[in-house]
Amino acid sequence: MTYLHTLILGIIEGVSEFLPISSTGHLILASHLLHLKQTDFHKSFEIAIQLGAILSVVVLYWRTLLVNFEILKRVITAFIPTAVFGFIFYKIIKRVLLGSNTVVLFSLLIGGVFLILFECWHREKESASEELSDISYRNAFIIGLCQTVAMIPGVSRSAATIIGGLILGIKRKTIVEFSFLLSVPTMAAATGFDLVKSGGHFSSDEFNLLLIGFVTSFIVALLSIKWLLHFIKNHTFIPFGIYRILISLLFWFLIL
């Protein structure tokens, strides 16, 4: 892996982390196009640079995370299912799922179809929860369960949590912001756990690559978050569903 590769992957991560298109899936497919081998370091790199994108949430929402304890408690409640399942299935996720283009493409395709069908069916009610603090602990936990599905590469963490929240009767902007906040403990834990497991084997050059990818994804993600919040004011997620289908079909032809 070169410094140019890290810049490319950092940009892809920053753009896709908060969109319902799966950042992990895009990193895996981009690595395939760049002919990068799925080594242990590369898999750890794909996990760690997501923390750079997550740092952008901390910068934009630090008051919400640190000052509003009621919201923080709901974020922690939603994080619990992912923490449990992530610990249990860590080896399967890293050794099997993260290295499979087939899993990514199927997830992108099926997720794209589901996203389109859901948006055609869903109608937001006037009584939908509008404030983050209005989300019940029960609903927060269910959203966390939805997030665990995104352990499958290509599913998309943001898509799983946002759709789960919409089904539960939460307003679109509110669940999008809750998904942002939930990403903080989720990716911090995933990166920290992976570095504890694998970080001792990295060279200084590899840590430099991680740093470049981290900073790049952070800067790009700041712009991506602001764009998404503006986009959802007048649009559904159908365009993302169409994109997922097209990109999965394109890569089927390229890979096969």
Per-residue confidence (pLDDT) for residue 99, from 0 to 100? 63
Q: How far apart are CA 73 and CA 196, in angstroms?
A: 26
Contact yes or no for 116/65 (Cβ under 8 A): no
pLDDT digits (tens, 9 = 90+) for 42-52: 777 877 788 88
Window from 17-26, 112-121, 199-208, 245-254 with minimum mean pLDDT: 199-208
Tokens 């919400």 belong to residue: 64
Number of domains in the chain: 1
pLDDT digits (tens, 9 = 90+) for 165-197: 999 999 999 999 999 999 898 888 877 776 666
Q: Which domain holds residue 88?
A: 3-255
Three-state SS across the chain? CCHHHHHHHHHHHHHHCCCCCCHHHHHHHHHHHCCCCCCHHHHHHHHHHHHHHHHHHHHHHHHHHHHCHHHHHHHHHHHHHHHHHHHHCHHHHHHCHHHCHHHHHHHHHHHHHHHHHHHHHCCCCCCCECCHHHCCHHHHHHHHHHHHHHHCCCCCHHHHHHHHHHHCCECHHHHHHHHHHHHHHHHHHHHHHHHHHHHHHCCHHHHHHHHHHHHHHHHHHHHHHHHHHHHCCCCCCHHHHHHHHHHHHHHHHHHC
Mean pLDDT taken over the chain: 86
Diameter of the chain measured on Cα atoms: 55
pLDDT digits (tens, 9 = 90+) for 72-119: 999 999 999 988 887 787 677 766 666 678 888 999 999 999 999 999
Q: How far apart are CA 120 and CA 132, in angstroms?
A: 25
Q: How far apart are CA 135 and CA 137, in angstroms?
A: 7
pTM: 0.85
Tokens 């590899």 belong to residue: 206
